[in-house]
């Protein structure tokens, strides 16, 4: 009994957990604008690639630093002299032997003097097996090019980090535009929902008037047609909303199959730029791109200096210790054992003439340096143009929104008066339809102007490097 009860309890608890988990997965995750940006900076593919670039730059710095760190190598050599090499020595043996024989009067006197000169005797030296074990240490004592290159390697690491910051900046910019596009789509959807509800009420009132004989069937049909068109627009705008959400989820690296909601409202994101943003001086150094160009130009100057230092000598030091075993029979312990040797030395490498190789490389490095100086100047001019255009676009967007707000209020008053006249029997359904169409166009124009204003503010901040 208790066993069945426990089994049932575990079953229902497990089912409850599963159900709760399933429901939790269906709950949309809410994102504010800053939360969406933070999520993108953690999950965006481009951000991950930028992190890999930084890791690669760190590895390059360590790789270059390793050039100046002492090296230690072990080595074992084994040689089997299957056929010992032959050497030729001057024939100094024959004259000596003949001379001794002359002393004992065993050969005629003067025989040694008559032996031909320049003769050689073939001999073989060495043993069959040679086993050598050695350990060698070496280090770079001085190299001007290495010291300058070490600075350049560290500068490359900082440059990569700044490029990563630029990527973060661009991700933030893309997320903000996509986020606002969703809010605009949602706002359009809500406006359309309100229009449909208002038109349904008007249609119901008109049908009641028709039944009472105050209006014609044509009036009902016109309103019904307008309602059908609006409901079709609802389906279109819903697909636009879905597309906008999918674009946002893709940009921030969120699973497209899972739902999300936005916690910020469109009005909360409308910010008025400071007076200095619209009329102040342009600070070029606020842009990350300018900092990247300056760092790149600095690296090119280090490259010129590194190549110039290659004209100076460099010094390396080394030390080696070895033990050598030479035997005819490698495993015969009766033969000679290991002998040892040690070497310590310094190498001074003095460049004398390289066929103008370094000179050509220095010229190319200076050309690259000048190229980035021109890039900086061009960027300043481009930024001036970008800021000027962004300021003008913001002012135009602000003026358009002000005009559309006035137009919307006017269109709403016209529709309200037209409905009042229609209910009083002095207006027509054509006038209502026309007033409605004008209202819908004005609403769409206002939403477009609102979107343009928010985007213009984002573009202005981007141009200013804020």
Give me the CATH number covering residue 215.
1.20.1600.10
Q: Residue 108 pLDDT > 80, yes or no? A: no
Q: Residue 24 pLDDT > 70, yes or no? A: no
Contact (Cβ atoms closer than 8 angstroms) between residue 465 and residue 287 = yes
Higher pLDDT, 44 or 115: 44
Higher pLDDT, 19 or 425: 425
Residues 393 and 410 in one domain: yes
Dist CA 156 CA 53 (whole Å): 11
Would you say residue 429 lies in a domain?
Answer: yes
Percent of the chain whose pLDDT exceeds 90: 27
DSSP state of 92: -
Instruction: Determine the average pLDDT of the residues in 172-179.
Output: 90
Instruction: Determine the average pLDDT of the residues in 428-454.
Output: 85
Q: Residue 22 pLDDT > 60, yes or no? A: no
What long-range pairs does 229-233 form, CB within 8 A, spacing at least 24? 230/192, 230/195, 230/196, 230/199, 231/196, 233/192
Residue 456 has φ and ψ, to the nearest 5°, of -65, -35
**Tokens at 256, concatenated:** 């497209």
Closest CA to 260 of 43, 49, 15: 43
**Cβ density class 149-180: b for 16+ within 10 Å, e for less:** bbebbebbbebbbbbbebbbbebbebbbbbbb
How confident is the model over 328-343, as pLDDT tens digits? 887 878 788 888 999 9
- Domain hosting residue 116, numbered range: 85-125
Q: Residue 25 pLDDT > 80, yes or no? A: no
Residues 103 and 70 in one domain: no
Residues 116 and 166 in one domain: no
Model pTM greater than 0.85? no
Contact (Cβ atoms closer than 8 angstroms) between residue 182 and residue 241 = yes
Q: Residue 457 pLDDT > 60, yes or no? A: yes
Q: Residue 257 pLDDT > 70, yes or no? A: yes
Closest CA to 128 of 78, 82, 76: 82
Q: What residues pair up with 206 in beta bridges, in sequence order?
A: none
Dist CA 296 CA 372 (whole Å): 7
Which pLDDT score, from 0 to 100, does residue 175 have?
A: 92
Would you say residue 337 lies in a domain?
Answer: no
How confident is the model over 377-421, as pLDDT tens digits? 999 999 999 999 999 999 999 999 999 999 999 988 998 888 888
Q: Residue 196 pLDDT > 90, yes or no? A: no
**Three-point CA angle 289, 292, 294, nearest 5°:** 110
Residues 102 and 242 in one domain: no
Dist CA 119 CA 329 (whole Å): 34
Residues 296 and 254 in one domain: yes
Instruction: Determine the average pLDDT of the residues in 122-140.
Output: 86
Higher pLDDT, 16 or 74: 74
Residue labelled with tokens 């070497």 = 343
How many residues does this entry show for the chain? 466
Q: Residue 12 pLDDT > 80, yes or no? A: no
Percent of the chain whose pLDDT exceeds 70: 88
Would you say residue 16 lies in a domain?
Answer: no
Which pLDDT score, from 0 to 100, does residue 11 have?
A: 43
Would you say residue 228 lies in a domain?
Answer: yes
Residues 152 and 174 in one domain: yes
**Tokens at 257, concatenated:** 């199959």
Would you say residue 260 lies in a domain?
Answer: yes
Sheet holding 129-142, edge to edge: 71-80, 129-142, 314-327, 339-349
Q: Residue 101 pLDDT > 60, yes or no? A: yes
Would you say residue 328 lies in a domain?
Answer: no
Dist CA 322 CA 131 (whole Å): 10
Residues 149 and 212 in one domain: yes
Residues 95 and 156 in one domain: no
Bridge-based pairing of strands 260-262 and 314-327 is: unpaired
Residues 52 and 111 in one domain: no
Residues 413 and 444 in one domain: yes
Higher pLDDT, 94 or 464: 464
Half-sphere exposure of 30 (CA within 13 A, CB side): 4
Q: How many domains does the chain have?
A: 2
Last residue of a domain, one of 69, 103, 125: 125
Element housing 124 (H / E): strand 120-124
Closest CA to 128 of 330, 398, 405, 345: 330
Contact (Cβ atoms closer than 8 angstroms) between residue 454 and residue 270 = yes
Instruction: Determine the average pLDDT of the residues in 47-68.
Output: 88
User: How far apart are the two ends of the chain, measured CA to CA in Å?
Assistant: 71
Which pLDDT score, from 0 to 100, does residue 193 have?
A: 86
Instruction: Determine the average pLDDT of the residues in 240-249.
Output: 92
Q: Residue 191 pLDDT > 60, yes or no? A: yes
Would you say residue 202 lies in a domain?
Answer: yes
Which pLDDT score, from 0 to 100, does residue 2 have?
A: 44
Residue 90 has φ and ψ, to the nearest 5°, of -60, 145
Which pLDDT score, from 0 to 100, does residue 437 have?
A: 83
**Tokens at 1, concatenated:** 């009994």
How confident is the model over 267-314, as pLDDT tens digits? 788 888 888 888 888 888 889 999 999 999 999 999 999 899 989 999
Residues 106 and 255 in one domain: no
**Tokens at 387, concatenated:** 């800021």
Residues 207 and 116 in one domain: no
Least confident of 50-59, 223-232, 371-380: 223-232
Last residue of a domain, one of 66, 100, 125: 125
Which pLDDT score, from 0 to 100, does residue 188 have?
A: 86
Predicted confidence band at 105 (pLDDT cuts at 50, 70, 90)? low
Would you say residue 390 lies in a domain?
Answer: yes
Q: What residues pair up with 78 in beta bridges, in sequence order?
A: 131
């Amino acid at each position: 009994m208790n066993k069945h009860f426990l089994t049932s309890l575990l079953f229902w608890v497990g089912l409850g957990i599963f159900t709760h988990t399933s429901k939790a997965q269906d709950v949309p995750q809410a994102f504010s604008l800053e939360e969406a940006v933070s999520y993108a900076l953690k999950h965006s593919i481009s951000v991950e690639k930028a992190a890999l670039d930084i890791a690669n730059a760190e590895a390059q710095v360590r790789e270059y630093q390793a050039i100046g760190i002492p090296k230690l190598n072990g080595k074992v050599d084994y040689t089997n002299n299957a056929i010992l090499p032959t050497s030729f020595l001057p024939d100094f043996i024959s004259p000596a032997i003949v001379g001794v024989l002359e002393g004992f009067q065993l050969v005629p006197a003067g025989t040694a003097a008559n032996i031909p000169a320049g003769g050689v005797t073939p001999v073989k030296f060495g043993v069959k097996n040679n086993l050598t074990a050695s350990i060698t240490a070496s280090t770079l004592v001085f190299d001007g090019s290495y010291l300058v290159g070490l600075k350049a390697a560290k500068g490359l690491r900082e440059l990569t980090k700044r490029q990563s910051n630029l990527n973060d900046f661009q991700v933030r910019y893309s997320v903000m535009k996509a986020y606002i596009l969703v809010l605009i789509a949602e706002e359009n959807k809500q406006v359309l929902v309100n229009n449909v509800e208002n038109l349904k009420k008007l249609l119901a009132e008109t049908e009641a008037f028709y039944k009472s004989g105050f209006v014609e069937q044509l009036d009902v049909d016109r309103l019904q047609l307008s309602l059908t068109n609006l409901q079709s627009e609802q389906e279109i705008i819903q697909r636009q909303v879905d597309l906008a959400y999918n674009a946002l989820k893709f940009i921030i690296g969120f699973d497209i199959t899972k739902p999300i909601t936005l916690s910020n409202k469109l009005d909360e994101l409308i910010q008025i730029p400071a007076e200095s943003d619209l009329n102040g001086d342009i600070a070029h150094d606020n842009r990350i791109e300018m900092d990247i160009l300056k760092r790149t130009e600095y690296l090119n100057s280090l490259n010129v200096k590194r190549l110039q230092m290659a004209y100076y000598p460099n010094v390396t030091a080394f030390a080696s210790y070895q033990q050598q075993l030479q035997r005819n029979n490698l495993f015969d312990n009766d033969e000679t054992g290991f002998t040892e040797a040690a070497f310590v030395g310094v190498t001074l490498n003095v460049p004398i003439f390289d066929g103008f190789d370094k000179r050509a490389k220095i010229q190319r490095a200076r050309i690259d340096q000048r190229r980035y100086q021109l890039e900086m100047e061009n960027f300043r001019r481009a930024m001036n143009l970008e800021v000027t255009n962004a300021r003008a676009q913001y002012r135009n967007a602000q003026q358009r929104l002000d005009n559309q707000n006035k137009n919307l209020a006017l269109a709403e008053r016209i529709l309200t008066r037209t409905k009042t006249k229609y209910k009083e029997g002095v207006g027509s359904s054509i006038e209502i339809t026309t007033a409605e169409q004008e209202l819908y166009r004005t609403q769409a124009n206002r939403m477009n102007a609102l979107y343009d204003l928010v985007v213009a503010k984002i573009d202005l901040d981007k141009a200013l490097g804020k």
